[in-house]
A and B are shown apart, each in its own frame.
Chain A
Amino acid sequence: MPNLEHPAYPAATLLRLESLVPCRESQVSMLLSIFGERQQFTFPSIFIYGHTSSGKTYVMQTLLNTLQLPHVFVNCVEYFTSRLLLEEILIQLQNCSFETKHASHVLCDTFNDFVRMFKQAVTSQDLQDQTLYIVLDRAEQLREMEANILPAFLRLQELTDRNVTVVLLSEIVWELFRPSTGCFEPFTLYFPDYSIGHLQKILSHNHPPEYSADFYAAYINILLGVFYMVCRDLKELQHLAALNFSKYCEPVVRGEANERDTRKLWKNIEPHLKKAMQTVYLREISSSQWERLQRDDGEPGQLKGLSAHAHVELPYYSKFLLIAAYLASYNPVRTDKRFFLKHHGKIKKTNFMKKHEKTSNHLLGPKPFPLDRLLAILYSIVDNRVAPTANIFSQITSLVTLQLLSLVGHNDQLDGPRYKCTVSLDFIRAIARFFSLLHLKEGQSIGP
C-alpha cells in the first residue's frame, strides 16, 4: 500500500491519517494530490460517487479533520430545502474561524444573497487564502431543489471569485445529475466497492479483546460466506457480525469446543445465520428481539418473521368471499361463463389471446372487478343458497379493512364499487385446504 506523503503536511499527521482509513489509501492519496497545498487552487467542484457504505463520507470527514483544512460539512437530506441548506453553510462558515464566539442566525433566501454573504464571510475570516471545502453529502437531493442550485454550486468558485471547492458525495452516477442545458462539469472520482479481502480486513479490525484475532477472523469468514452474495454493504455486515458473535462463541463458552474447532462452530452458527438472513437482515424483527431469542436458546424453527405469518382466521363466508375475489381478480371475464355455469359452450381462441400468451395473468398482478361479479362468483362456489344480506356486505368491507381486498377507484362512485384482491396464491391455498374444494383446482387453470 502506498505511503501517503505530501510536502505540505507533516509526516506524522499523514501517518495517523493512513491508520484511520484502511483499504482506502489510494483514494486518499489521489485526493491529497488533487488538493495540493493549502493555498493552491483545486478543481472548482469534485463529484465523488460509490456504493453505499463505500466510505465516501467517512474518508472525506477524516481527511478534512485530520489535516485541519477549513471546511463546511452539510447533509442534503437533513437540510432538504435550498434555504435551510444555504443558511446552514453560512452558519458553519462562521464557526470555521477561531475567533467567533457564537454563531448568529443568518437569513438567506436565495442563492444571490448566499453569494453576497459568502463573499463577505470568507474575506472576514482569517482563512489566509486557504482553500475552503464545502462538502455536500447525499447530493442527489440537490436535484429535488430549485433548478439553479446544482449548477450554481458547481460554479461557486467562479461566482464568488474566492478559493472554494465544492465536493459532492452521492451513490448515483453523474450522468443522472447533469442538467439538460449542461453545466460546469465537475471532476468525478469513483470510490470502488470493497473486495471480499478488504471486507474481511475491515470487519476483523474491531474484534472484541477477549478472543484472539484469528478466532474472530474465522467467524468473519463464515459470515461473509453466507452473506457476501446477497449484500456487500459494510454497515449491514458490521451489524450482523455484532449481533451473531455471541451465538458463535457459545460452544466455546459452554466448553463444548475450543477455539480451533472450526467444524463444530460452523455447524452451530450456520442455521442461525440463515435464519438471520430472513429476519434481521430484512428488518422483520428488531435486533433486540433477535438477541432475546438467542439468549432464550429457542429452536430456530420457532422464529418467524412477519412474512411467515401467512395464516389468518376468518369467518366462514369471508373465506369464500376471499376465494371468490381471487378468482375474480385473476380469471379473465370471458372464462367466467365456462367455469361457473353448468352448461357452457367452448371458447374459441381468438387472436387477442394468442398475442398475450406470453404474460401469464399471475405475473401482471390482480385486476379490478365490480362488486356484482364478486357476488356472482360467490353464489356459484358456495353450495347452499346465500342470501345477499347486510352480513355479507359488511364482511366485504372488513376484508377491505384487513387489506386483503383493496378498493379501486373513488369512494363515492355510485355505480358499484370495484375491488382488487391483494393476497397471494399460497394464502388462498391455505384457506382452500380448509375446505378441500374441488372447484379450486378448476379455477387455477387460468390464463391461456
Chain B
Amino acid sequence: MLSFLFKVKISAMSKRKSKESSSANGECISQVQRILRERFCHHHATGKPFGIEHQYRHLLELLKRTTVHGESNSALIIGPRGSGKTMLLNHVLKELMEIKQIRENLLEVHLNGLLQTNDKVALKEITRQLHLENVVGDKVFGSFAENLAFLLEALRKGDRTSSCPVLFILDEFDLFVHHKNQTLLYNLFDISQSAQTPVTVIGLTCRQDILELLEKRVKSRFSHRQIYLMNSFDFKQYIKIFKEQLSLPAEFLDESFAQKWNNNVQHLSEDKTVQDMLQNLFHYSKDLRSLHLLLMLALSNVTVHHPLITASDLHEASKQYRMDSKANIVHGLSVLEICLIIAMKHLNDVYEGEPFNFQMVYNEFQKFMQRKAHCMYNFEKPVVMKCCAALCWIVAVHRHKQLTCQTTCLAWSRKFRKRTGLVRHLNTYYNWS
C-alpha cells in the first residue's frame, strides 16, 4: 500500500516536472523565436559585422574627423543589394554615439531616395529633421542654395562660434541622381567643400556606375571617396557566418537550452548535406539576405514538439526558396491553355521568334487537334479566344507594339472589338515534342 502511494507520488512529481519542463520549454522556444526573428527579419545590428573591418575603420575614421575635428567630407558606400551598407553605417554610428562629445553635438539627417522623390520634399524633410520648422516659418527663398544656407546658419545658435557638425545620410543615392538638375546633390556637395559648417555627406547606393550618373559640376565637388562592400568572403567564412547567425547569444535565459541549441547548430554546420545546400545557395547569391530568409523559414518550424532545427528543416526551406514560379503557374493552367502554349511555342520555333497573332495560334491548335483527335473535344473558336486572352494576362506573353492585326471575326468585332496585337512569346522552359 505504501509502495503504491509512493509510486503515485513519484509519477505525479515526474508529471509535474515534465509539465514544468515543457512549459519552460514553451517559454524558451518563444524567446528563441523572438531573438532570432529580430535578427533575421528586423536586421537588428547585433554583434560585430564580419569581413568588413577595413571599410569599418575607414568610415569610422572619416566620421570622427568630421565630428571631432570639424572637417567636411563626402563619401559613397557602394555595394550590391544586401551586402551590408546600411548595417555598416549603423554600426559605425552606434560606436560614435558612445563618445559623449559626439553624442551631444552631432546632428544627423537621414534622407532616402524612395521617400524624398524630389528636391522640394527633400528640403522640407531636412528642415524637419533639423527641427528648424519654426525658424523657417513662412519664409520664401529664392533658390535651394539660399534655403540650405539659411538652415545651416540657423544651426549656429546662441554663442557658438561654429555650428554643430551635420551628417547627411542619403540612402538609395542613385535615385537622387534623377532629380531635376541634381540640385540637392550639388548643394550638399558644395557646402561640404566650401562652407564653415562641418558637413559630411554619405551616400549609399547599389549601382556600381554611380559616378557616371553624376553631372560634371556635382562630380567635381565630390571627394571621390568610395567605400566598396563586395561580399568578399569565401565559402568557409560563409559557413562560419551561418553558424554565428543561428547561434543563441551568451546572455540567453535558459543556459542549458542555449547550450543544446548551439551544439545542434555546430552539428548542422558540419553535416555534409547541409553544407551542400549552403554551397548551392552560396553559388546562387552570396548576400546575407537570402541566408536570413532561408534561416527564417527553417526557424518557423521550431515549436515545443520540435525544439531544434534539423537538417530536413533546412532542406525544406531551401526547396521552398528555390521554387520555380513560372513552372508553378504553368502547372495550374487548364488543358486547353496548355495546348495553346504548345501551339505558341511551336510557332515561336518555326518562325524563329517572329511575332504571331491569335489567328495563327488557332490554326496551329486546329492542326494539333486533327492529329490527335481522340484526346480532346474540338472547342469552338470563341472559347479558345477566351482562354488565349486569359493566358496573355498570366504568362509572360509580350505585346508587340508596332504591328497589330485585327482578328477576322465579325461577331467578335461587334461586341468585343478585340484587336489582338501580335505577340512575342518569351522563352518557356519545356521542350514540347
Alpha-carbon distance A435/B323, docked complex (angstroms): 62
Contact B114 A111 (CB under 8 A): yes
B residues near A188, Cβ cutoff 8 Å: 323, 325
Alpha-carbon distance A43/B294, docked complex (angstroms): 11
In this complex, the member of B125, B334, B407 whose beta carbon has the largest number of chain A beta carbons within 10 angstroms is B334
Q: Does A448 contact B (CB under 8 A)?
A: no
Alpha-carbon distance A146/B222, docked complex (angstroms): 29
Alpha-carbon distance A190/B351, docked complex (angstroms): 34
Contact B363 A363 (CB under 8 A): yes
Return A160 CB to nearest CB of chain B, in Å. 10
If the complex has contacts A172-B394, A278-B383, A366-B408, are A232 and B334 also in contact, measured as CB distance less than 8 A? yes
If the complex has contacts A159-B114, A309-B411, A365-B405, are A43 and B293 also in contact, measured as CB distance less than 8 A? yes
Contact B41 A155 (CB under 8 A): no
A residues near B93, Cβ cutoff 8 Å: none
Alpha-carbon distance A82/B413, docked complex (angstroms): 35
A residues near B334, Cβ cutoff 8 Å: 228-232
If the complex has contacts A44-B41, A306-B411, are A230 and B336 also in contact, measured as CB distance less than 8 A? yes
Contact B326 A173 (CB under 8 A): yes
Alpha-carbon distance A50/B380, docked complex (angstroms): 27
Q: Does A252 contact B (CB under 8 A)?
A: no
Contact B325 A49 (CB under 8 A): yes
Which of chain A's residues has its CB closest to B362's CB? Answer: A363
Chain B positions 350 through 393: 1 when the CB is less than 8 Å from some CB of chain A, otherwise 0: 11000001011001000000000000110110110011000001
Which of chain A's residues has its CB closest to B303's CB? Answer: A7
Alpha-carbon distance A404/B411, docked complex (angstroms): 10
Within residues 273 to 329 of chain A, which ones have a CB less than 8 A from any CB in chain B? 277-278, 281-282, 284, 305-310
In this complex, the member of B174, B387, B415 whose beta carbon has the largest number of chain A beta carbons within 10 angstroms is B415
Q: Does A175 contact B (CB under 8 A)?
A: yes
Q: Does B220 contact A (CB under 8 A)?
A: no
Which of chain B's residues has its CB closest to A140's CB? Answer: B393
A residues near B414, Cβ cutoff 8 Å: 306, 403
Alpha-carbon distance A43/B357, docked complex (angstroms): 42
Contact A229 B386 (CB under 8 A): no
Alpha-carbon distance A37/B33, docked complex (angstroms): 9
A residues near B43, Cβ cutoff 8 Å: 158
B residues near A308, Cβ cutoff 8 Å: 411
Chain A positions 141 through 176: 1 when the CB is less than 8 Å from some CB of chain B, otherwise 0: 000001010011001011100000000000111111
Return B204 CB to nearest CB of chain A, in Å. 13
Which of chain B's residues has its CB closest to A231's CB? Answer: B334
If the complex has contacts A404-B410, A423-B408, are A232 and B332 also in contact, measured as CB distance less than 8 A? yes
Contact A427 B382 (CB under 8 A): no
**Contact stretch, chosen from A71-79, A179-187, A371-379, A392-400:** A179-187
Which of chain B's residues has its CB closest to A163's CB? Answer: B42
If the complex has contacts A159-B114, A173-B326, A310-B411, are A51 and B357 also in contact, measured as CB distance less than 8 A? no
Return A309 CB to nearest CB of chain B, in Å. 6
A residues near B61, Cβ cutoff 8 Å: none
Alpha-carbon distance A111/B175, docked complex (angstroms): 14
Return A200 CB to nearest CB of chain B, in Å. 16
Return B338 CB to nearest CB of chain A, in Å. 10
If the complex has contacts A42-B37, A363-B357, A424-B408, are A36 and B300 also in contact, measured as CB distance less than 8 A? yes
Contact B37 A148 (CB under 8 A): no
Q: Does A192 contact B (CB under 8 A)?
A: yes
Contact among A175, A182, A362 with B325 in the assembled complex (CB-CB below 8 Å): A175
If the complex has contacts A192-B331, A423-B408, are A307 and B382 also in contact, measured as CB distance less than 8 A? yes
B residues near A120, Cβ cutoff 8 Å: none
Q: Does A245 contact B (CB under 8 A)?
A: no
Q: Does A54 contact B (CB under 8 A)?
A: yes
B residues near A66, Cβ cutoff 8 Å: none
Chain A positions 186 through 215: 1 when the CB is less than 8 Å from some CB of chain B, otherwise 0: 011010110000000000000000000000
Q: Does A422 contact B (CB under 8 A)?
A: yes
Label chain B's interface by main secondary structure: helix
B residues near A253, Cβ cutoff 8 Å: none
Q: Does A354 contact B (CB under 8 A)?
A: no
A-B CB contact pairs (8 Å), 21 listed = A7-B304, A51-B394, A148-B175, A152-B114, A173-B396, A181-B206, A183-B81, A190-B323, A192-B332, A193-B331, A229-B335, A229-B377, A230-B334, A230-B383, A282-B382, A365-B359, A365-B407, A403-B413, A422-B410, A425-B408, A427-B410
Within residues 330 to 385 of chain A, which ones have a CB less than 8 A from any CB in chain B? 358-359, 362-366
A residues near B383, Cβ cutoff 8 Å: 230, 277-278, 281-282
Which of chain B's residues has its CB closest to A420's CB? Answer: B406
**Contact stretch, chosen from B115-123, B133-141, B236-244:** B115-123
Task: State the 8 A-B residue pairs at the shortest beta-carbon distance, nearest first.
Answer: A365-B405, A193-B332, A307-B411, A173-B325, A33-B300, A229-B335, A41-B41, A112-B115
Q: A34-B296, A115-B115 are in contact. List 12 more A-B contacts (CB 8 A).
A: A7-B26, A7-B304, A33-B301, A112-B116, A146-B117, A171-B394, A175-B326, A190-B325, A193-B332, A282-B386, A307-B412, A420-B406
Chain B positions 323 through 348: 1 when the CB is less than 8 Å from some CB of chain A, otherwise 0: 10110110111111000000000000
Contact B379 A230 (CB under 8 A): yes
Contact A152 B115 (CB under 8 A): yes
Q: Does A40 contact B (CB under 8 A)?
A: yes
Q: Does B409 contact A (CB under 8 A)?
A: yes
Contact A278 B300 (CB under 8 A): no
Contact B328 A34 (CB under 8 A): no
Q: Does B263 contact A (CB under 8 A)?
A: no
Which of chain A's residues has its CB closest to B39's CB? Answer: A41
B residues near A183, Cβ cutoff 8 Å: 81
Which of chain B's residues has its CB closest to A326's CB? Answer: B408
Q: Does B46 contact A (CB under 8 A)?
A: no
Return B184 CB to nearest CB of chain A, in Å. 14
Alpha-carbon distance A225/B29, docked complex (angstroms): 49
Q: Does B153 contact A (CB under 8 A)?
A: no
Alpha-carbon distance A63/B360, docked complex (angstroms): 45
A residues near B297, Cβ cutoff 8 Å: 34, 187
A residues near B359, Cβ cutoff 8 Å: 362-365
In this complex, the member of B42, B206, B296, B408 whose beta carbon has the largest number of chain A beta carbons within 10 angstroms is B408
Within residues 206 to 243 of chain A, which ones have a CB less than 8 A from any CB in chain B? 228-232
Q: Does B279 contact A (CB under 8 A)?
A: no
Return A148 CB to nearest CB of chain B, in Å. 5
Within residues 7 to 56 of chain A, which ones have a CB less than 8 A from any CB in chain B? 7, 30, 33-34, 36-37, 39-44, 49-51, 54
Q: Does B232 contact A (CB under 8 A)?
A: no
Contact B336 A229 (CB under 8 A): yes
Contact B406 A365 (CB under 8 A): yes
If the complex has contacts A362-B359, A424-B409, are A229 and B387 also in contact, measured as CB distance less than 8 A? no
Return B46 CB to nearest CB of chain A, in Å. 13
A residues near B37, Cβ cutoff 8 Å: 36, 40-42
Contact among A43, A110, A228, A366 with B406 in the assembled complex (CB-CB below 8 Å): A366
Q: Does B254 contact A (CB under 8 A)?
A: no
A residues near B387, Cβ cutoff 8 Å: 230-231
Alpha-carbon distance A174/B325, docked complex (angstroms): 8
Return B292 CB to nearest CB of chain A, in Å. 10
Contact A185 B115 (CB under 8 A): no
Contact among B175, B289, B325, B360 with A185 in the assembled complex (CB-CB below 8 Å): B289
Alpha-carbon distance A30/B174, docked complex (angstroms): 37
Which of chain B's residues has its CB closest to A187's CB? Answer: B293
Contact B117 A148 (CB under 8 A): yes
